[in-house]
Amino acid sequence: MAAGWGVKVSISVKEICSNGPVIPVIEIDDEANALPLVEALMAGGINVVEITLRTPQALPAIKAVSQIKGLHVGAGTLLSADDVKKAKAAGATFGVSPGSTAELIEACEGEALPFLPGAATPSEVANLKSHGFEIQKFFPAEAAGGRPMLKAIAGPLQEITFCPTGGVSPENANDYLALPNVICVGGSWIASRKLIKDQAWDIIEANAKAASALA
């Protein structure tokens, strides 16, 4: 929840992002895979996931796992007020967008849905700051300048903390996490679309364990 919002929510974006160093970004094609997927991730020490609304099975998958105790399930790729309403109705704990609009901000406030909005430039970051968002998604991280950009932003916008997503990998995740203005990172490598389709739960659990051990 942004600091300036008048609507109270049960948990803040800061609390959610503080749960672990990596938030898996998930594309799921079969609702039946949602439960074993989350079980594998939680066995590996991850209890925050982002399920992107890029497939028809995303909302059913969110609904299928939304009641799991200790899990925070986010709805990603929110692009409209309708997306926000459907995500909240499905049981999403928080929402994530690749960018931000007044419509999305108002919809999340109206639904009391904690919101992690995306930004890629200083102007976008400053605009979101004016709305009270002190934690933002930096997307697409690598394409938008990566760690050098985040280091540059840290000077004039010291109050803002980021969750870089897009091009983050096991090879560079620790470098992002070492930055003082990074609270966590998002990545798809832990539970890729192929690994989920192949039901490779052991591999996903191992990936989750490795990600949970990052600094």
Residue pair 151/175 in contact (Cβ under 8 Å)? The answer is no
Angstrom distance (rounded) from CA 144 to CA 123: 13
Is 50 catalytic? The answer is yes
Question: How far are the Cα atoms of 50, 102, 149, 163 from residue 156, in angstroms, in the given order?
Answer: 29, 24, 12, 18
DSSP state of 59: H
C-alpha distance from residue 186 to each of 26, 86, 106, 107, 130 (Å): 10, 23, 24, 23, 24
Q: Which of 50, 109, 111, 205 is catalytic?
A: 50
Catalytic residue among 27, 109, 137, 205: 137
Whether residue 71 contacts residue 42, with contact meaning beta carbons closer than 8 Å, is answered with yes
Residue 137 known to be catalytic: yes
Query: At a CB cut-off of 8 Å and minimum separation 6, what does 140 contact?
Result: 98, 120, 165, 166, 167
- SS3 category, 104: helix
Residues designated catalytic:
50, 137
